[in-house]
Amino acid sequence: MFLSQTDKHLSLWLRLCTLISATILALIIMFLLAESWPLLKHGVLTQFISDESWHPAQRLYNILPMLSATLLSTLGALTLATPLGIASAMFNRYYAPSFLASGYRRIIELMAGIPSVVYGLWGLTTLAPVINLWHPPGVSLLCAILVLAMMILPTIALTADSALGAIPVVFHQTAAALALSRWGTIRHVLLPLAKSSIGAGIMLATGRAIGETMAVLMVAGNVVQQPDSLFDSVRTLTANIALEMAYAMGDHRAALFVSGLALMLMIILLAGLAEINKRSS
Amino acid sequence: MKSLLIEPDRHPKDHPGQERSYTLGPLQAGPPCCDPQTLLSIKNLSLSYGSTPALKNVSLDIYQGCITALIGPSGCGKTSFLSALNRLTDMIPTCNVSGDIHFHGINIHDPKQDVLNLRRNIGMIFQKPLPFPVSIRRNIELPLREHGIDNPTESDAIVQQVLSDVGLWAEVKDRLNAPAQALSGGQQQRLCIARALALKPQVLLMDEPCSALDPISSAVVEDLIQRLRGRYTIVIVTHNLAQAKRIANYAGFFWVSDRAGCLIEFGQCKQIFESPQHELTAAYVNGSRG
Amino acid sequence: MLKNRLATLLIWLSVILISAVFVVLVLDLVRHGWAELSLAYLVDAPLDAGRGGGIGPIMVSTGLILALTISVAAPLSLATAVFLTEFSSKNSVFSGIIKRSLDVLASVPSIVFGLFGNAFFCVYLGLGFSILSGGLTLACMVLPILIRTFSEGLRAAPDEYRLAAAALGLNRAAALRHFLLPTATPALIAGLMLAIGRAIAETAALIFTSGYVDRMPDSLMDSGRALSIHIYDLSMNVAGGDSHANSAALILISLLFMINTLSSKLAYHWMHKRITCL
Ligand SMILES: Nc1ncnc2c1ncn2[C@@H]1O[C@H](COP(=O)(O)OP(=O)(O)OP(=O)(O)O)[C@@H](O)[C@H]1O
Ligand SMILES: [Mg+2]
């Protein structure tokens, strides 16, 4: 590649800035490791799942209850948000009259823009009291699932919407020429074509749900326990960090950074899955 | 540049027989074509994209002040050949060029060669008119400014002069600040030529400059190219054989053999079209192949 | 046929459900937050841990954090985006690694950014709980968003401009300044607005970096409470803070809505201006 003298100088500066941008991820992982080191250096990773409970004062650091709360709430939110999100996208593309489609898309975009702390506030002041009437205490796994589902629904809906929009018109025409019904066309022609992009959107949403902090912190009740039912209060990994960082010292602080590492690990795993999904399509 | 300055209302008198819907400034005559001097000499030029060859062993000379037409079927490497002459191929990372190209006797691949200066001396016109998304005036001013001409009076004079040269001045003088993309295709192409002329190049490479235009605009541009003869050395790629015949002094015929383009025949235009030496050339110019 | 009808019915039901939830959410916020809203609320200092007074200092802190975030992240992102799109070939190993790392960075949870910001900026660099730490942490967070939108904007500029500029003997710097960056401007603005939106909505990354203090900050080294943290604190830690939390939430949402609208208007306006007047 030919570069003039001016361009060479510019290129050097740009390369430097690029290096700085790229270092941030490395720095994050480095600092998570460094801060976790006081606990990791003993080499007994099993302690985080075999300790009796999470009692930092007694040096007991079992993160399993929090881990399962994170996974359960994510799973629940996905179960709700995936069909609803895909239905939203199908509505926009194939069912809605055009004036409704643009209005509804705007609603979804606005929902995507609402900050998590506002979802949390609404869940705490409106949703939790309603659940409380049905089955106390209200702030619970169920409440967390509902709020999380609302938060990740726009991600799924918007990616599915653009995936469906990217399907070439010929497929509609071919399906129409075969006299397939609207649902038949969607189910057997269009959805399979958009499958991998929709999958990518779902993975993106999964990442958001796993990493979400404020909303679940406000509505899940924050009791460290293995939930027996949807109405039990739970505490997720992220909420635990947010709650205890303020006063954690020494090994306790290290244990919180270990849960940060666990979160990072899940995110990197998801990124790997997304990569595989992308390659295979 | 000053010596070429003209008053816009003078030129119809200078070219009494050529009053058209557009105006064209008088152009200075260059060295005559009948005494050919080599300006660009290309020896054994080979070019490939990655590992697929596009051109093999092309050797020819481009003569100063003349119009050289390159003809040949699609995909035989004419565009690639033109891009190699001003090292626009540097912009394509996969493209490898080997062989020698001398401009005024100096190797253009010399590491000391100032490529920006080379490109300034060897201008290029693309098939699709490519005005920048700015005003008509800025399209010409920007390159001037980058090459150190930022005095407004001087650059205004150049803008007026080159627009007159391409016969666009009368049409656009009242809307120099209008967006260039609002011009018609033919006007856009002439603007692109004017933009290239503003840098006072010695060579103009034209890659099918008329093929995106309607017949009338195409005739206007062709006329313009005729008038540029002498002052500029022109290498033009065209699929329009009649056009090549009309305007060129020299012609080169490219063909694909062994999946790479090569130069089959090069010579005086008249000779190529009327007594081609090679049977492929004969077949192509007579329209039975390609 | 039955399946077809059923599908239509289910899809309409889902859409009605989602719209209803959205409307209820917005109405709730307006209903609970409306009463406290006034001009004085925007400028006054909070009283009694936020149960009374306004959010003046909080708005100032939020603005400072945002300004810092953008002024650090935007130049860095622009440089990176320009390098990736204009100065490196598509399949070079170096840029491949960088793109991967930015993709992962984009999905790092905000609480992890909080942990990192606390360990790196507050403790390691000794900046303490301060607006500076918070702003820098958010800058790391919005960096991948900015780089992605900026690169997309630059890539949307047609390759022909690059060729035409080179054919006129312009260097890459000139092509960037005169054609590529102006063409990409709407995308640059959209990216900036997206980043501002992300930053202003962020809570978790700020709790342990910029802190809770709700006084008017004297300098960037002071701790300052962002609007989103104020909402969180009022609803979780202050008994009787709900109505003020709702007012603050209403303001936060209106700000986001304004940014959103402004960005599409600005992008549109710019596009016109660029073509007609430049
Ligand atoms: N950027 C590129 N990357 C890879 N291959 C290319 C590239 N540009 C051209 N080629 C290949 O090089 C060969 C020559 O192309 P070129 O554009 O020079 O032909 P051409 O004679 O100008 O054709 P046309 O008359 O259609 O314009 C073709 O086979 C083409 O596919
Ligand atoms: Mg070509």
| CB-defined contacts A:C, below 8 A | 239
For ligand 1, say whether the CB of B78 is within 6 Å of any of its atoms.
Answer: yes
Closest CA to B208 of B81, B101, B109: B81
Structural domain count, chain A: 2
- C157: which chain B residues are within 8 Å (Cβ-Cβ)? none
Asked if residue C69 has pLDDT above 80, the reply is yes
Residue B290: predicted pLDDT:
47
8 A C-beta contact, residue A186 and residue A250: no
Q: Which of B45, B46, B49 to mutate to test the pocket of ligand 1 (most atoms within 8 A of CB)?
A: B49
Q: C274 CA to middle of ligand 1, Å?
A: 33
- Asked if residue B157 belongs to a domain, the reply is no
Same domain (yes/no): A88, A225: yes
Mean pLDDT of A103-128: 93
Among the ranges given (A271-275, B260-264, B283-287), the one the predictor scored with the smallest mean pLDDT: B283-287
- Residue length, chain C? 278
d(CA B187, ligand 1 centre) in Å: 27
Task: Name the nearest CA neighbour of C51 among C247, C244, C250, C246.
Answer: C244
Residue B191 covered by a domain: no
Q: How confident is the model over C260-271, as pLDDT tens digits?
A: 888 777 766 666
- The residue count of chain A comes to 281
Q: What is the share, in percent, of chain B residues with pLDDT greater than 70?
A: 87
Per-range mean pLDDT, top range of A179-193, C2-16, C90-104 = C2-16
**Ramachandran region, residue B68 (left: φ > 0; alpha: ψ -120 to 50; beta: rest):** beta
Q: What is the number of structural domains in chain C? A: 1
Domain annotation covers residue C30: no
Query: Could you tell me which residues come within 8 angstroms of residue A53 by beta carbon, excluding any fewer than 6 positions away?
Result: A60, A62, A65, A224
pTM over 0.95: no
Task: Evaluate if residue B33 carries a pLDDT over 60.
Answer: no
Q: Is residue C109 part of a domain?
A: yes
At residue B112, the pLDDT reads 81
Using 50, 70 and 90 to split pLDDT, how confident is the model at C229? very high
Average pLDDT on C122-142 reads 96
As given in the structure block, the two tokens for residue B97 are 């060029």
Does some domain include residue B206?
yes
Residue A185 has pLDDT above 90, yes or no: no
The residue nearest atom 31 of ligand 1, judged by CA position, is B75
Q: What is the mean pLDDT of residues C66-94?
A: 92
Contact B255, B70 (CB under 8 A): no
Q: pLDDT tens-digit profile of B211-259? A: 888 888 889 889 989 988 888 999 999 999 999 999 999 999 999 988 8
Q: How confident is the model at residue A144 (pLDDT cuts 50, 70, 90)?
A: very high
Chain B residues at the C interface, defined by Cβ less than 8 Å, are 86, 88, 90-91, 93, 116-120, 123-124, 126, 128, 130, 132-135, 138, 142-143, 146-147, 177-179, 181, 192, 195-196, 199
CA–CA separation, B39 vs A233, rounded Å?
85
Same domain, A86 and A174: yes
- Compute the average pLDDT of residues B181-207: 91
Once rounded to an integer, what is the mean pLDDT over residues B22-35? 48
pLDDT at residue B288 tops 80: no
Q: For residue range B11-23, list pLDDT tens digits in order.
A: 333 333 333 333 3
Same structural domain, A155 and A64: yes
CB within 8 Å: B116 and C171? yes
Tokens standing for residue B162: 């080159």
Q: Would you say the CB of residue B76 lies under 6 angstroms from ligand 1? A: yes
Provide the residue range defining the domain that includes A76: 49-280
Average pLDDT of the segment spanning A118-127: 94
The total number of structural domains that make up chain B: 1
B7, B30, B15, B13: which is closest to B161 by C-alpha?
B7
Average pLDDT, rounded, for chain B: 84
Bridge partners, residue B232, by sequence: B229
3-class DSSP assignment, residue B240: coil
Evaluate if residue B5 carries a pLDDT over 70.
no
Residues, CB-to-ion distance under 5 Å, ligand 2: B 79
Q: Could you give the ipTM of this predicted complex?
A: 0.93
Same domain, A75 and A160: yes
Residue A165 has pLDDT above 80, yes or no: yes
Residue C99 parent element (H or E): helix C93-106
CATH assignment at residue A156: 1.10.3720.10
Residue B165 has pLDDT above 50, yes or no: yes
Q: Is A1's CB within 8 Å of B115's CB?
A: no
**Is the domain of A30 the same as that of A73?**
no
Residue B25's pLDDT band, with cuts at 50, 70 and 90, is very low
- DSSP 8-state code for residue B111: T
Q: What is the mean pLDDT of residues B145-166?
A: 89
Give the range of the structural domain holding residue C248, as residue numbers without chain letter.
38-277
Please give the residue that has the higher pLDDT: either A180 or A95.
A95
CATH number for position B62: 3.40.50.300
Q: Residue B275 falls within a domain, yes or no? A: yes
Mean pLDDT over each residue of chain A, to the nearest integer: 91
Q: List the residue whose alpha carbon is closest to atom 12 of ligand 1.
A: B54
C262 vs B225: CA distance, rounded Å: 49
Could you tell me if A105 and A162 lie in one domain?
yes
Cβ–Cβ gap A10/C173 under 8 Å: yes
Tokens of C120: 């790196």
Three-class SS state of B210: coil
**Mean pLDDT, rounded, for A135-161:** 95
**Mean pLDDT, residues B49-77 taken together:** 92
Residue B68 structural domain: 35-129+202-285
For residues C96-123, average pLDDT: 94
Answer whether residue B29 shows pLDDT above 60: no
CA-to-CA distance for C39 and C14, rounded, in angstroms?
39
Tell me the pLDDT tens digit for each residue of C173-226: 999 988 889 888 888 888 899 899 999 999 999 999 998 888 899 999 999 999
User: CA C91 to CA C219: how far, in whole Å?
Assistant: 45
In terms of average pLDDT, the best of A73-82, B146-155, C169-178 is: A73-82
Same domain, A111 and A189: yes
Three-state secondary structure call for residue B104: coil
Domain of residue C105, CATH code = 1.10.3720.10
Chains that touch B (3 or more CB pairs under 8 A): A, C
Ligand 1, pocket-test mutation among B78, B88, B284, most atoms within 8 A of CB? B78
CB A140 within 8 A of CB A235: no
Q: Does ligand 1 come within 6 angstroms of the Cβ of B83?
A: no
Residue B151 lies in a domain: no
- ∠C229-C231-C235 over CA atoms, to 5°? 120
